[in-house]
A and B are shown apart, each in its own frame.
Chain A
Amino acid sequence: MFRLYLIFTSLLMAEAMVASAQESSAQVHEMESVHDILPSPYFIDGEHCIGTNQKELSESWLISKEEVEITNKIDAQEDCEDLLRAFGLEKYKWFNPEDLESASSKLKQSGFFEDVELFIKKSELKNHIHVFMRAKTKPRYVYSLQNELKFYENLNLAAVSDKSARLFNRISGEVIDRTYQPNSKEAWGFQLDTALASNRSLMVSGWESETLSFNNISEAYTNINKNYYIADFYFKHNRMMSRNLVLDFIGHLLLDNVQSSGPFVSASAYVDTDLVYSRYIRYIRGTFYGGVGLVFSSMRSTPSYAFLPGLKMGVHFGRDTGTFFRQDVSVFHSLFFPISFFQGKTEFQVDLGENINGSLIFKFRDVQSLVFPRDFAPSTDLDSNQSAFGFSKNFVKDKSRTQLDWRLGYEWLGYTPPQGVGESVFTSLGYKLISDDLNVNFSFGYYFQRVY
């Protein structure tokens, strides 16, 4: 019995001694400063990308097969190095292991790839490494389709004794090719505005006319009430300069029949270049942009064409989901013509839980000195100022979100005299689907006759 007791006690003591030794060894580790044994920095000898797409030349009578191979190889390597530089890693420089961790996290979060991982391999010398990025690209195309339908019982312009109902529709579509993202991205799109008026004759100062003529005071009124379309076709190319800096190039071709009565179509073309700086500060995104726009357009008052270079800049500040406050402001001013364009949107959204959001929205848009024919048509958003509140319900699935949206608001139209000022109370219903490769947005707004 005593022997057994001795065996037990000695076993317990031995266990206690082992535990104490382990504990003291752990304490020794804890006492060591992290800076004493942190891994040394790494020197990057080479960078390699696996699975990303690069633009490739093909053989022709101008360039031989060997030259094509070499050029493609060099271009691919440059694209790879540009991409990793944008995420904070550069060849022939020293980096801490945590810099690699940070770059890896930023790449993962960028959303540019379906999946992406970084790994390193030893180079010839100690602490010299090669960095590898293995990526799985996302589906090549993203499709967007939007339709906004607005019905006015009566535009109710103060300066016009007009009882005409109107229907405005804007349909737009876009295809984004992200084969080469994030280095570059391309998009093709269109926007078609159409307007229908139930009654196209007007009583203005005792003068009735259905005639559409230029350089006449009646022009403004007839433009308000005529049926018209404005079509905009565009091509967008953007190139990543760094992780926060993107260069945008957008070429537009516009066709419209706003100031014509027959088959005559006026055309405009313009090119926008924007340098866009975006940065996330915790959960908030800030975007600043500025650029030069060059417009080639037919003029309103004379059937001539002119080049209208101008400068524009803007700011977008806020978040896109949950509870947020967002502010957008943009300004365009022509360099040689008295044309200014000013628009903004303030949005405050509250996450009410259960995927329901409440929102308050204020929008304003002001175009000074109307010059382009399309500026003289009361399109869906020309000189429209709105205050609205609303609720939206979201249905979130693994990789998509569906949103139903209802709004009630007040709109006042600040058309340049003599068109006058219009006011309406409106309600709208919207449906939105956002997924990785398809975005759809439909809305219908009903604008009541003045009810106050």
Chain B
Amino acid sequence: MKFVWKAIILLLLSASVEAKSNDNRFCGLFGEVYQHSVRKRILSGIPFELMGALFGTGSEQGMLLGKKSVHITYNLWDELILVRSGEKILGRFSIDDGRKELCKFLEIGMGVPGVVSGKKYRFRLLLNPMWNERMARLQIATSVELENRRLVDINWKKIAEDMPSEKVLMEEELEL
């Protein structure tokens, strides 16, 4: 009898681990990017934006399904990261905690309209994306660099789909 109960408990635990595996995979991948690029960027002291963007695959290729963006400011004196989304403060933490904390704010999972379980999606982590909110906040216009890079095919639909940015820090196909 004891053996049966142990087996049931193990099964329940493994199911819970399975459900969280995607989250952990994302945070694992983010951890590497954090160590290589994001941490250095934070320490530079210049505020910046990170955006997690989820795109469809197959027939929905390139379609932007959901996005989450955070604005990161680092104070050189108290050595704390301030994370905001628009006007909302999402958190304040040390540079070492940034690795696990930031991942929570950028992860896009179930609950996004059009996203179904078991399907593959393409996830991009964008550094300083060119989107309306950021451009309006900084009062910057898309200029030479963007036009030179894209050269001809600037059209609003494509911009929404491709979400041009300063750099794509991570691009992975994930199964949700």
Which of A's residues lie within 8 Å of B, judged by CB?
4, 26, 29-30, 32, 34, 37-39, 97-98, 100-102, 104-106, 108-111, 117-122, 126-127, 129, 280-283, 285, 319-323, 351, 353, 355, 357, 394, 396, 399, 401, 403, 434, 436
Binary interface profile of B, 15-34, with partner A (CB < 8 Å = 1, else 0)?
00000000000000000000
Contact present for A351 and B5 (CB under 8 Å): no
Contact present for B138 and A105 (CB under 8 Å): yes
- Least CB distance from A90 to B in Å reads 16
Contact present for B89 and A32 (CB under 8 Å): yes
Contact present for A323 and B140 (CB under 8 Å): no
B89 CB contacts on chain A under 8 angstroms: 29-30, 32, 34, 37
13 A-B pairs (CB sep. < 8 Å)? A30-B90, A98-B138, A102-B138, A120-B76, A121-B45, A122-B77, A129-B45, A282-B141, A283-B154, A322-B155, A351-B152, A351-B154, A394-B153
Question: Do A322 and B142 form a contact, CB below 8 Å, given A97-B73, A111-B148, A119-B45?
Answer: no
A436 CB contacts on chain B under 8 angstroms: 148
- Least CB distance from B20 to A in Å reads 13
From B84, B138, B140, B147, give the contact of A321 (CB < 8 A).
Answer: B147
Q: Apart from A110-B144, A129-B45, A396-B152, what 5 extra A-B contacts exist at CB < 8 Å?
A: A39-B73, A100-B45, A111-B144, A111-B148, A119-B46
Contact present for A280 and B141 (CB under 8 Å): yes
- Least CB distance from A147 to B in Å reads 22
Say yes or no for B169: interface residue by CB 8 A criterion.
no
A119 CB contacts on chain B under 8 angstroms: 44-46
From B82, B90, B140, give the contact of A105 (CB < 8 A).
Answer: B140
Classify the interface of chain A: helix, strand, loop or mixed. Answer: mixed
Say yes or no for B128: interface residue by CB 8 A criterion.
yes
- Least CB distance from B149 to A in Å reads 8
Question: Do A401 and B46 form a contact, CB below 8 Å, given A29-B91, A108-B145, A283-B142?
Answer: no
Say yes or no for B166: interface residue by CB 8 A criterion.
yes
Say yes or no for B109: interface residue by CB 8 A criterion.
no
Say yes or no for B47: interface residue by CB 8 A criterion.
yes
From B141, B147, B149, B152, give the contact of A394 (CB < 8 A).
Answer: B152
Contact present for A127 and B77 (CB under 8 Å): yes
Complex CA distance for A403 and B152, rounded to whole angstroms: 10
A109 CB contacts on chain B under 8 angstroms: 140, 142-146
B91 CB contacts on chain A under 8 angstroms: 26, 29
Contact present for B142 and A282 (CB under 8 Å): yes
Contact present for A34 and B87 (CB under 8 Å): yes
B138 CB contacts on chain A under 8 angstroms: 98, 101-102, 105
A322 CB contacts on chain B under 8 angstroms: 152-155
From A38, A280, A321, give the contact of B151 (CB < 8 A).
Answer: A321
Complex CA distance for A280 and B75, rounded to whole angstroms: 32
- Least CB distance from B163 to A in Å reads 16
Question: Do A30 and B88 form a contact, CB below 8 Å, given A321-B151, A394-B153?
Answer: yes
Complex CA distance for A306 and B46, rounded to whole angstroms: 57
Complex CA distance for A73 and B77, rounded to whole angstroms: 31
Complex CA distance for A29 and B81, rounded to whole angstroms: 14
Contact present for B44 and A118 (CB under 8 Å): yes
B92 CB contacts on chain A under 8 angstroms: 29, 37
- Least CB distance from B22 to A in Å reads 19
B119 CB contacts on chain A under 8 angstroms: none
Complex CA distance for A203 and B124, rounded to whole angstroms: 74
- Least CB distance from B140 to A in Å reads 5
A32 CB contacts on chain B under 8 angstroms: 89
Q: Of A106, A109, A127, A323, which is in contact with the most chain B CB atoms at under 10 Å from its CB?
A: A109
Contact present for B155 and A351 (CB under 8 Å): yes
A357 CB contacts on chain B under 8 angstroms: 152
Which B60-83 residues sit within 8 Å CB-CB of chain A?
A: 73, 75-77, 82
Complex CA distance for A106 and B143, rounded to whole angstroms: 9
Q: Of A37, A101, A119, A127, which is in contact with the most chain B CB atoms at under 10 Å from its CB?
A: A101
Contact present for B76 and A102 (CB under 8 Å): no
From B84, B143, B152, give the contact of A110 (CB < 8 A).
Answer: B143
Complex CA distance for A127 and B75, rounded to whole angstroms: 9
Binary interface profile of B, 117-158, with partner A (CB < 8 Å = 1, else 0)?
000000000001000000001111111111111111111000
Question: Do A105 and B87 form a contact, CB below 8 Å, given A117-B44, A396-B153?
Answer: no
Complex CA distance for A118 and B128, rounded to whole angstroms: 14
List of 7 A-B pairs having minimum Cβ-Cβ separation, nearest first: A119-B44, A111-B144, A120-B45, A280-B141, A109-B145, A322-B154, A401-B151
B47 CB contacts on chain A under 8 angstroms: 97-98, 100-101
Complex CA distance for A104 and B167, rounded to whole angstroms: 14
Complex CA distance for A27 and B139, rounded to whole angstroms: 30
Complex CA distance for A185 and B57, rounded to whole angstroms: 46
Q: Which residue of A lies closest to B134 (CB)?
A: A105
Contact present for A100 and B144 (CB under 8 Å): no
From A108, A122, A323, A394, give the contact of B76 (CB < 8 A).
Answer: A122
